[in-house]
Chains A and B, each alone.
Chain A
Amino acid sequence: MELTAQLLVYGVLMGLIFALIALGLSLIFGVMNIVNFAHGEFLMMGMYIAYLLSTFLHLDPLISLPIAAGAGYLLGIGSYHILIHRILRGPMVAQLFGTFGLMLFLRYLAMYIFTPDVRSVKQGILVGKTLSMGWVNVDASKIFSAGVCLLAFAAIYWMIYRTKLGRGLRATSIDAEAAKYMGIDTKGMNALAWGIGGATVALAGALLAHFYYVTPTVGMLFTLIAFATVALGGFGSILGAFVAGIIIGLIMVISGQLVSELKFSFIYVVYFLVVVFRPRGLFGW
């Protein structure tokens, strides 16, 4: 019983982080039908920001959260203006390789700057602390991260479904040409989707850095998990990313308990089943 409760709590907490990572990937795809292979590298950047600020400036990783989100926003917008809008008119393959190239560029840039060494955040109010709640002991940083993920989701959801800007973003994702005739700056909306995507995933990275090691290649694993999450939730669906993130978190933690070496394999089994039996995902169009 204790173990089950522990696993469920841990799975949901991890799942919320997966959900926040998947959010931006899904949003960018929803607005402009582009799959961002460099998504995990944005996450890696958020992690390094938390690491650097903590190690060299002795800032608590909590303070690095808004800084990472801001940097992620700029990275997303910058990628759009410098690279993405140029490859939009090209064939699908050019778009795929465009973001794939961005992924390689960012990954090996990090390799050059930070070396392949494995690093981790060692100090911070929440680092290494555990909270005990009845049967369950949980890392304080994971509880906190989950709370931040919930807040970030609520903020993005509100922005997209309750504000004029969000209405413009949704219109652009449904029919960009018609949106343009409404006077909506559709290029600006694309850039905004990249900005939000970059900000949320970098925020997730700074949260993750509290309890996960950082290397230049850490993005690969999380990109693949995010793909599985988005496929399960439905491409372009925010609610889908949220629910699917939690499901993926639970699957990973529970299967990891059963056969620890295979915990990631089970995620791809789910991915495979979704693609075969319900290609549009749980909440997709």
Chain B
Amino acid sequence: MLKVDRIQVHYEGIPALHEVSLEVNQGELVVMVGANGSGKSTTLKAIIGGVTPVSGTILFNEREITREETAKIVRMGVVYVPESRRIFGPLTVEENLLLGAFTSDSEKEVREHLEHVYQLFPRLKERHKQRGETLSGGEQQMLAIGRGLMIRPKLLMLDEPSLGLMPKLVTELFKTISLLKEEGYTILLVEQNVREALEIADRGYILQTGRTIHSGKGVELLQSDIVKKAFLGL
């Protein structure tokens, strides 16, 4: 479904990604792990068209999207839920959700998806008239994910969703992500909670200073020396 082939990205001339390659297949939950600054977020931003690679290619369903505009990529069904949630604070919960469906032209579909999101996160329904910024951190994360689901994306990319959440909520978040996978969503997840993420993942990639240096099945990676040493402190 998604094929990233040796992309290189520069920020103002300074290389941020040297050579990142990865694949996500239909229905998979794929996790990218790596230290701060290893290029995980940049990779997601390159896929969604937020930054443009200087070389390499990105294919989505066989179509090249390497230099495509973000709006077009979203219309193709790729959604990026950014780091630190980026809720539109002054807007209501419902307005935030509706913005997630901005590229959808069918009002009926939007209503259906809204109901679906409210079913998944009843808390958001209770607070649908409240301003986004009045929600707690955990609720804001629900809102960010719910907003990402509003067009039933073919590929959902989550950037550090657990950032800043209490441990109890982190566990709940991973349950939600597993649930989404069971519902059939294809997910590319970037996480710092390496153990929890790899436990629920089908496959994983390890990034180091802008390169994908290792990949494998989720559980296998969890057992691998490289992950044990670098991330789990074993």
**Chain B residues with Cβ under 8 A from A170's Cβ?**
88, 90-91
Q: Is B192 engaged at the interface, CB distance under 8 Å to the other chain? A: no
Task: Please tell me if the beta carbons of A164 and B102 are within 8 angstroms of each other in the complex.
Answer: yes
Which residue from B82, B90, B91, B95 sits with its C-beta under 8 Å from A181? B82
Which residue from A164, A168, A171, A183 sits with its C-beta under 8 Å from B75? A183
Task: Please tell me if the beta carbons of A182 and B91 are within 8 angstroms of each other in the complex.
Answer: no
**Chain A residues with Cβ under 8 A from B50's Cβ?**
177, 180-181
Closest to A285 in B: B90
**Chain A residues with Cβ under 8 A from B95's Cβ?**
167
Task: Please tell me if the beta carbons of A174 and B70 are within 8 angstroms of each other in the complex.
Answer: no
Q: Given the known inter-chain contacts A167-B95, A184-B102, please indicate yes or no for A174 contacting B74, CB distance below 8 A.
A: no
Which residue from B70, B86, B88, B90 sits with its C-beta under 8 Å from A183? B70
Q: Given the known inter-chain contacts A167-B95, A180-B50, A181-B48, please indicate yes or no for A175 contacting B86, CB distance below 8 A.
A: yes
CA distance A51 to B45 in the complex (A): 52
**Chain B residues with Cβ under 8 A from A168's Cβ?**
99, 102
Which label, helix, strand, loop or mixed, suits the secondary structure of the A interface? helix
- Interface-central residue, A164, A175, A178, by most chain B CB under 10 Å: A178
In the assembled complex, the CB of B154 is this many whole angstroms from the nearest CB of chain A, namely 14
In the assembled complex, the CB of B45 is this many whole angstroms from the nearest CB of chain A, namely 9
Q: Given the known inter-chain contacts A180-B50, A181-B70, A181-B74, please indicate yes or no for A167 contacting B86, CB distance below 8 A.
A: no
In the assembled complex, the CB of B74 is this many whole angstroms from the nearest CB of chain A, namely 3
**Chain A residues with Cβ under 8 A from B80's Cβ?**
181
Interface residues of A in 144-184 (CB under 8 A from B): 164, 167-168, 170-171, 174-175, 177-184
Task: Please tell me if the beta carbons of B102 and A177 are within 8 angstroms of each other in the complex.
Answer: no
Task: Please tell me if the beta carbons of A182 and B82 are within 8 angstroms of each other in the complex.
Answer: no
In the assembled complex, the CB of B134 is this many whole angstroms from the nearest CB of chain A, namely 15
In the assembled complex, the CB of B151 is this many whole angstroms from the nearest CB of chain A, namely 8
Task: Please tell me if the beta carbons of B48 and A182 are within 8 angstroms of each other in the complex.
Answer: no
CA distance A174 to B133 in the complex (A): 12
Closest to B105 in A: A164
Task: Please tell me if the beta carbons of A185 and B88 are within 8 angstroms of each other in the complex.
Answer: no
In the assembled complex, the CB of B125 is this many whole angstroms from the nearest CB of chain A, namely 19
CA distance A78 to B102 in the complex (A): 25
Which residues of A come within 8 Å of B, CB atoms? 164, 167-168, 170-171, 174-175, 177-185, 285
Sort A-B residue pairs by CB-CB distance and give the 5 closest, nearest first: A183-B74, A178-B86, A183-B103, A183-B71, A182-B102
Which residues of B come within 8 Å of A, CB atoms? 48, 50, 69-71, 74-75, 79-80, 82, 86, 88-91, 95, 98-100, 102-103, 147, 151
Given contacts A171-B102, A181-B50, list 4 more A-B pairs with CB under 8 A: A168-B102, A178-B86, A182-B103, A184-B99
Of the A-B pairs whose beta carbons lie under 8 Å apart in the complex, a sample of 7, sorted by A's number, is A179-B88, A181-B80, A182-B100, A182-B102, A183-B102, A183-B103, A184-B71
